[in-house]
Amino acid sequence: MNSNAQPIKLFLVVAFSCTNLLVSLTPVLAKPTLDSSRSDAYGGLRLRPQTKTTLAQVTTFNQPPIPPGPAPGGRVRGGAKRGPAGCKITKLDLTALVPFTQEANSVVNVWGQTTVEHPSWFFYVPYTKDLPYIVEFVLQEDPDSKDSKEIYRKAIALPDKPGVIRVSLPTNTPALAVDKQYRWFFTINCDKEKNSPPTYVEGVIKRVNLSAETVKELETAEPRKRYAIYAQKGIWYEALTTLAELRQKNPQDAALQAEWLNLLRSIRLDDVAAESILPVTP
């Protein structure tokens, strides 16, 4: 009996050793994450593949349905015909950082909510100040009317380098009214003579009120929590603005970088998520 037990014991030792060897050789698969050590001073992102992520669960943006009535329409990407006097060809187009939907009939609706009287908009601009382009931001009342009243117009200076810029409605302009929609335009004329069509983006913004309970929660919440509340309530403009300000104050924060990537990915703007948020210019 002892003569039979010895070969069996030897077999089990060899089998166990082989199993451990196979386990040790099994590759570990990791999801890509963000490399905070390679972000620039203005918050540009770089992707670092094949590294483990230890970031907290990112927040989900709950996009509200388009309100009843005429569809807002709009344009989230610039794209004019480029002739001899047209816009310089760039890797990425002019892009509005705003939610949009594309219907079955290919109609694009660009629409988002705000809770403040004087909100901010963010745009990815691929052109720089060395180009003689004319840039304007315009805000109108009554977006569905042919006689829309213009309430704000501002010439925009092109940045030093391509990136995401912020345009804010000044406090000395009329406040946005609650439950009223407004149409905005961001236009770049690349031809001073205006013989070529401009490249532009446009959409509709609506101011809404939050519940008293949510307002109270926001009053005591720190900025990261406020961002999460706005995102969960479908308030795009304050969610984006809060997160952009956090990223500019903490450019090396990998968790904030992941939130930014996730937020823009949720509205299908992954391609501009890695672009720098540029300092605000007067």
d(CA 103, CA 66): 12
Task: Provide the β-strand partners of residue 34.
Answer: 47
Nearest in space to 175 (alpha carbons), one of 97, 114, 235:
114
SS3 268: coil
146-151: which pairs have CB atoms within 8 A and are 24 or more residues apart?
A: 148/183, 151/182
Report pLDDT for 41: 41
Residue 261's region, left for phi above 0, alpha for psi from -120 to 50, else beta, is: alpha
- Kindly report the length of the chain: 282
Specify the pTM. 0.79
Q: What is the pLDDT along the chain (282 residues), one digit of tens a residue?
A: 444 444 444 443 444 444 443 333 333 333 334 444 444 444 454 444 433 333 446 688 999 998 888 889 999 999 755 556 678 889 999 999 999 998 777 789 999 999 999 999 999 999 999 999 999 999 999 766 667 789 999 999 999 999 999 999 999 999 999 999 999 999 999 987 777 788 999 999 999 999 999 999 999 999 999 999 999 999 999 999 999 999 999 999 999 999 999 999 999 999 999 999 998 765
d(CA 262, CA 255): 10
Nearest in space to 115 (alpha carbons), one of 269, 239, 264:
239
Show me where the domains of the chain are located. 68-272
Kindly give the residue spans of alpha helices, DSSP state H, lying in the chain.
2-25, 212-220, 223-232, 236-249, 254-266
d(CA 240, CA 266): 12
